Amino acid sequence: MRQPDFTLTAGPTMASPRVLSALGSPIIFDYDPVFLDRFRETERLLAEVYQTQNDVVLMQGEAVLGLEAAARGLVQTGTRCLNLVSGVYASWFGDWLRKFGAEVYEVRVPYDEALDPAGVQRALDEHGPIEVVSVVHSETPSGVENPLGEIGFVAHAHGALMLADVVSSLGGTELLVDDWHIDVAVAGPQKCLAGPPGMSLIAVSPRAWEAVEANPAAPRSSFLSLLDWKLRWIEGGRTAFPYTPSVADVGGVHAALSEALEESLQTTISCHARAARACRAGVRALGLELWPRSESYAANCVTAVRAPSAVSVPEVLSHVRERYGVQLSGGYGELKDKLLRLGHMGPASRSLYPLVAVSALGRGLADLGVSVDIGAGAQAVMDALAEATAAPLEQSLT
């Protein structure tokens, strides 16, 4: 089986030539001055993308490791947590919290809706005092983005620590860690940043460090230990690692962060927003239904589409991949057979990739007997891209 020509999925995403080149650089000693400088510089770049003055931690392992490390660091038996559930990942996170002994309360909304900060406020008033509030910023499985900033203010006003899964939002949508009072943020480089999927990118506030240090159940001398990074690397003067990091992955993450910042972080975010608008316009013009009930909270990372009842999701994905060389995504977890997803992260947020995604989906569905307007879909994508491109030009001429 050949590899697809285009990977337009929910992640990992296509990587740029610069990232691929960095991943292929020679492996050197992790205590070589060149690598130590690169690691420290990668931390600095990550803090800039996170827009934070807090400590950042680069843990070896995909973002799920970072999320588990954060949960285990903050939670012990009896910790009172409010878990905000608007999708598959948040639901799973609640299972983790319970597994670690937390007393978990939940705010739940349908998976095609976003959380309402007023509902979070009511839950905190009802169940307080709450020690930890956990939320997913961008629910990749359903293409829904939650109002993290507003939720952060509500949680902070109640004195709770804010733990945010920002795996698919970092670099693709506005994220102000310090201004929004996010105490622990966990991301992965393989989504909007388009880096390798082997690291967890974490930001930790002073309040969160205090909570982890005071938690007797927090992992110590463990691969899951945030404290090991604080004590050995950060407080040790950034000269000794708690374990050997992947030299190649750090190089790839360094390249990905550099690319996100060099053109300006706002430009990078704007590209993701433009691609998302274009894909949504194309999907509607095809005659299909978006999964989120309102585009006001549709995510910048993926466009989620309700799967037509006449076809199965695996059938569509297989056909589009084999016939047209385009790999798209289906649903995930409870949504596995209910929706299709078009990824527009990293390089796929640029150029005509949204046109490729919408056209491949439309053509594939038509081949399988679904009535869609392929021409209208393609035209809608092009119109949206042209409108977004023309706006900065008009501003520069006035």
Q: What is the pLDDT of residues 333-388, one digit of tens each?
A: 999 999 999 999 999 999 899 999 999 999 999 999 999 999 999 999 999 999 87
Catalogue all structural domains in the chain, each as residue range(s) with its CATH number.
Answer: 6-12+264-397 (3.90.1150.10), 17-262 (3.40.640.10)
Return the DSSP state at 291: S
Residue 206 has what pLDDT?
99
Residue 145 has what pLDDT?
99
Q: How far apart are CA 87 and CA 40, in angstroms?
A: 35
Band of pLDDT at residue 398, cut at 50, 70 and 90: very low
Q: DSSP per residue over 208-234, as a string?
A: HHHHHHH-TTS--SSTT-HHHIIIIII
Token pair in block for residue 129: 């005092």
Q: Do the beta carbons of residue 115 and residue 255 sit within 8 Å?
A: no
Q: What are phi and psi of 137, to 5 degrees?
A: -65, -55
User: From its phi and psi, is residue 217 left (phi > 0), alpha (psi between -120 and 50) or beta?
Assistant: alpha
pLDDT in tens, 259-286: 999 989 999 999 999 999 999 999 999 9
Q: Which helix (H) or strand (E) holds 70?
A: helix 63-74
Q: How does the average pLDDT of the chain come out, rounded?
A: 96
Using DSSP's 3-state secondary structure scheme, residue 166 falls into coil
pLDDT of residue 247 exceeding 60:
yes
Q: Which helix (H) or strand (E) holds 342?
A: strand 339-343
Using DSSP's 3-state secondary structure scheme, residue 190 falls into coil
Residue 344's identity, in one-letter code, is H
Band of pLDDT at residue 391, cut at 50, 70 and 90: low
Q: How far apart are CA 211 and CA 299, in angstroms?
A: 31
Residue 128 has what pLDDT?
83
How far is Cα of residue 388 from the mean position of the Cα atoms in its chain?
23
From residue 356, alpha-carbon distances to 14, 148, 238, 325 in Å are: 14, 31, 44, 10
Token pair in block for residue 49: 């993308």
Q: For the residues 328-332, what does the mean pLDDT come to?
A: 96
Residue 40's identity, in one-letter code, is R
Q: For the residues 166-190, what does the mean pLDDT come to?
A: 98
